[in-house]
Structure 1
Amino acid sequence: MRRVADDFGQPNGLAFGPDESQLYVVDTRARHLRRFTVTGDGALRGGDVFATCDAGSFDGVRLDQAGRVWVAAHDGLHCFDPDGTLLGKLLLPEVVANFTFGGPKRNHLYICASSSLYSLRVNVNGVRYPGW
């Protein structure tokens, strides 16, 4: 085991891109999401801020097959284009902590909020990682 990054206030959610060459890490205290490049030997390069949260702080993070980045926030789910542009928000009436893509096609969102569990079918598919 080796440390590959240690400059976080409160690292929280993490997710790999579709081909596992990018790693996204939420820093809850800093209220942002960073993106790293994963090298062939498992080290990380970069770590620039990919997105900043404008609604509380980020928590869980997942990607869809098109490389869009979905992140839980206090007002719902935020969806970002791979270039970091905010595409939109799925607003919920309570703070969202975590979520996942599920179902046979990974096109159902299961969302854990403050006191409820939500399910929603979407027109995208979550990432299926090689070998998982």
Structure 2
Amino acid sequence: MLACTEMITMCLQSAKHEHLRKQQELDHNQNQGISLVQDIFRRADKNDDGKLSLEEFQSYFTDGILTDEQMQELYYSIDRQQTDNLDIDKLSEYFTPHLGEYVNVLSALEKLNVVILKAMDKTKELSV
């Protein structure tokens, strides 16, 4: 009887461990996805002050789908304190919940980017 109880306990612990591992993997993927989103916002930050002005926001993200008025409305809906400067971290926090499964895509792109950069560095080392 004790062996059966031990086996059930081991199975439950194993399932708990697997769940925790999957949660850590999801968290890791989300962090990598957020990192890529932050990089995108940093590229839009032309004066490197860590914030996006309305002009920087519109200049970088205008794609012909949203009108200037819609872009401005989006900007001010994010900038609720009316600071006229969106902090890059706050922008990332705002957009991350809307990414859904794309967090995994962005995470994969981040990993691919790292691997490509390492390969390029290795190629440079070998050609010197």
TM-score band w.r.t. shorter chain: under 0.3
Q: Looking at secondary structure, tell me which structure has more strand per residue.
A: 1
Q: Which has the higher contact order (CA 8 A, sep 6+)?
A: 2
Q: Looking at secondary structure, tell me which structure has more helix per residue.
A: 2
TM-score normalized by structure 1? 0.21
Question: Radius of gyration: which is bigger?
Answer: 2
TM-score normalized by structure 2? 0.22
